[in-house]
Structure 1
Amino acid sequence: MSPIQIRPDEALDELTKFQAKLTHGVQNLMDTDDITTGVTPKEIIYQEDKMTLYRFQAPASVVQNTVPILIVYALVNRPYMADLQEDRSTVRGLLDAGMDVYLVDWGYPDRSDRYLTLDDYINGYLDRCVDVIRKRHRLDAINLLGICQGGTFSLCYAATHQDKVANLVTMVTPVDFQTPDNMLSKWVKYLDVDLTVEALGNIPGEMLNWTFLNLKPYRLMGQKYLDMVDVLDNPDQVANFLRMEKWIFDSPDQAGEAYRQFIKDFYQQNKLVEGGLRIGPHEVDLKNVTMPVLNIFAMQDHLVPPDASKALKKLVGTKDYSEISFKGGHIGIYVSGRAQKEVPPTIGKWIDERT
């Protein structure tokens, strides 16, 4: 192996350029205003405890589908990822596609929420949000769009409240929690959940966020900050980077009992696939998901591997099942330029054909 040749003049030139870019970048960081998120105008429709139901304002020029769609996001992160900024907004894309868009914001649980269960979230808060929308629009059933863990919640809800769901869309949704390539599943397989919940009460969001970052530690905790130097001289890209960082580290705590059940029943015992899952008074059988289903997954998803989502096809009872693979990752499916062009219009077209 020949030795690496380093020319002093080239090294000095590169170092000088790097220093200039860094100096300019630091000034851009200092000049950056407060980072805003959730850009689409919306109004509060219903509130209960920490939970808020929003309705987004549709463009006046767009003809809306008469059946609204409710976005159900995960508990573990904030839902403004679906409406991050003007040119990175799944919500805005859905509005442009003619959807009447609502969203459940679970809020930030505190110690008073420690004993909230999955039954409280799914058969309680979510069901009441659905009923509020149904009553407002005088409809028997509405459309659901479940994202990540919110997609799993939506599947459980659709399986036990079939008469209230017209069409179901799932995005990067875990179904089979024990596929061979699911690293997160392997990590929590032998976790003593009972001891964790009894010791901590609610599960700190910082702890969960640290877990997710360590799934790809070099990329998510090292390389991205080195790459950031390349965009520091562009104020708009600096703001974009900081906006994403704000979302990543904005992690609500998890209600202890809901966390206990989710880890045990889904990750450790894989009951959504194996059977035996109960949410409150309801037994959850995906064969009872008989409404049309559109399942969207990301091919480079490190949190929800494609096979974990694709397992849905063989489990649901509907004859109208469609799936779409997106060439990107777990976050890119919401915010990348390609996603903005492909995903919301596809969802809108698919729902329009079934309304």
Structure 2
Amino acid sequence: MTEPRETAFNSFLKDFAENVGKFHKGADVLAGIRDEDVDVGATPKTLVMRRDKVELFRYEPTAKRIVETPVLIVYGLIGRYTIADLQPDRSLVRSLLAKGIDVWLIDWGKPGRAERWLTMDDYVDDYIHEAVHRICRETGHDKVTLLGICEGGFFATCYAALHPEKVKNLVLTITPIDFHADIDDPAASQGLLNIWTRSLAPEDIDRMVDALGVIPGEFMSLIFSLMTPMQSLTKYNVNLIDIAGDKDLLMNCLRMEKWLADRPDHPGAAGRQWLKELYQGNRLVKGRFELSGRIVDLHAIDVPVLNIYALNDHIIPPACSKALGGKIGSTDYMEIPLLSGHVGLFVSSKSQGTLTKSMVEWLQARDG
């Protein structure tokens, strides 16, 4: 039965008053927060090497080392590595350090028009290769473990195929391998980015890269927000009002927004490869993707591989990550599906412990 009009109106007034109260309380909390308080990527680290805008860091240890092989985190060019170190209680980096892992990281910096000519060849065969050699010199090891995230996982995969002599283990998270594996996936909502990217006219990609020299970070942010329109519409009003009075929850939200707003431009030449040769041409799994004049042969990967993907990933459909298993030469292959989303894999309180525990146990068993 429908509520009497006066009762419904009174209910509305009550809710409105509560929301106004929340807003005022939230405004007071927000007024006391400065930009420097919203710290992301704050885990202490030391700059070891700089090459152009690319920097190699080593994190300061926080526990007795239980895995000797150094771990190099390779993030992609589409976002910033700080999602893996968002805040103290939601940081893959801090969790690995606390478990006794020697953690290193490549920061690509913020490419601009001056980097328009950089290709994936440069990132894999120059920057990553030089970083690996530097880590080996600093630590006395002849190999490293690569921990790739998203596009960075793709880079790490290519490096492991081209330079297997320098890789001890390969750990991948939310990494696209078969860019067309989602075509027959009944959960089409998980592959909206793939569908849209495959629909682009190749000449339009060329026009954007030729005109701008980059794929603008703001453009990619817009595309990602359009993939979850209701969440994008409500997070600054409905959701924010609910948490504005709680400083801890508000700081969580602000750190995430700071990461989202810090999306760098993607170098044009590498972006052209990413969109045309991979998203559209799917050359890697077809055995036709070249870097530095060499075919990237997945069968050449004969090192232990741990492949972690998110079951609710709307950016990289699980099928695109799972495809790796049947295409590598290694018999030591393990998959771990986690009930999470693309970003939630690293910042969700539910997945944090499981993600780190799985990695560390797997690495310990292979650290002979």
TM-score calculated relative to the size of structure 2? 0.93
Alignment partner of 2:169 out of 167, 170, 174: 167
**1:158 corresponds to:** 160
**In structure 2, how many angstroms separate the alpha carbons of the residues matched to 1:109 and 1:102?**
21
Secondary structure at the aligned position of 2:117 is classed as: coil
Q: Which sits farther off after the overlay, 189-198 or 137-146?
A: 189-198
2:59 corresponds to which letter in structure 1?
F
Secondary structure at the aligned position of 1:144 is classed as: strand
Q: Which sits farther off after the overlay, 159-168 or 91-100?
A: 91-100
Secondary structure at the aligned position of 1:71 is classed as: strand
2:242 corresponds to which letter in structure 1?
D
**In structure 2, how many angstroms separate the alpha carbons of the residues matched to 1:219 and 1:135?**
47
2:12 corresponds to which letter in structure 1?
A
Alignment partner of 2:59 out of 50, 56, 75: 56
**Residue 14 in structure 1 maps to residue 36 in structure 2:** no
Alignment partner of 1:279 out of 291, 301, 306: 291
**In structure 2, how many angstroms separate the alpha carbons of the residues matched to 1:348 and 1:327?**
19
**2:49 corresponds to:** 46
**In structure 1, how many angstroms separate the alpha carbons of the residues matched to 2:16 and 2:45?**
47
**In structure 1, how many angstroms separate the alpha carbons of the residues matched to 2:81 and 2:226?**
22
Total equivalences in the alignment: 353
The correspondence of residues 157-306 of structure 1 with structure 2, limited to 5 A, is: 157-178=159-180, 179-180=182-183, 181=188, 182-191=191-200, 192-223=204-235, 225-306=237-318
**In structure 1, how many angstroms separate the alpha carbons of the residues matched to 2:195 and 2:69?**
40
Secondary structure at the aligned position of 1:189 is classed as: helix
CA-atom RMSD in angstroms: 1.3
Cα displacement string for residues 28-52 of structure 1 (whole angstroms, at most 9, x for unaligned residues): 1111122111121100011011101
**2:25 corresponds to:** 24
Gaps of 5+ in 2: none
**In structure 1, how many angstroms separate the alpha carbons of the residues matched to 2:236 and 2:341?**
15
Alpha-carbon offset, residue 64 of structure 1: 3.7
**Residue 78 in structure 1 maps to residue 80 in structure 2:** yes
**In structure 2, how many angstroms separate the alpha carbons of the residues matched to 1:223 and 1:268?**
32
Alpha-carbon offset, residue 349 of structure 1: 1.0
**In structure 2, how many angstroms separate the alpha carbons of the residues matched to 1:141 and 1:29?**
47
Q: Residues 5, 155 of structure 1: CA spacing in aligned structure 2 closer, same or farther, 3 A cutoff?
A: farther
**1:136 corresponds to:** 138
Secondary structure at the aligned position of 1:69 is classed as: strand
**1:97 corresponds to:** 99
Cα displacement string for residues 256-278 of structure 1 (whole angstroms, at most 9, x for unaligned residues): 11101111111000111122000
Secondary structure at the aligned position of 1:311 is classed as: helix
**In structure 2, how many angstroms separate the alpha carbons of the residues matched to 1:136 and 1:282?**
29
Percent of pairs identical after alignment? 40
Gaps of 5+ in 1: none
Q: Which sits farther off after the overlay, 269-278 or 223-232?
A: 223-232
Cα displacement string for residues 32-77 of structure 1 (whole angstroms, at most 9, x for unaligned residues): 1221111211000110111010111111x42342110000001011
2:120 corresponds to which letter in structure 1?
L
Contact persistence 1:213–1:221 (CA under 8 A)? no
Alpha-carbon offset, residue 224 of structure 1: 5.8
**1:117 corresponds to:** 119
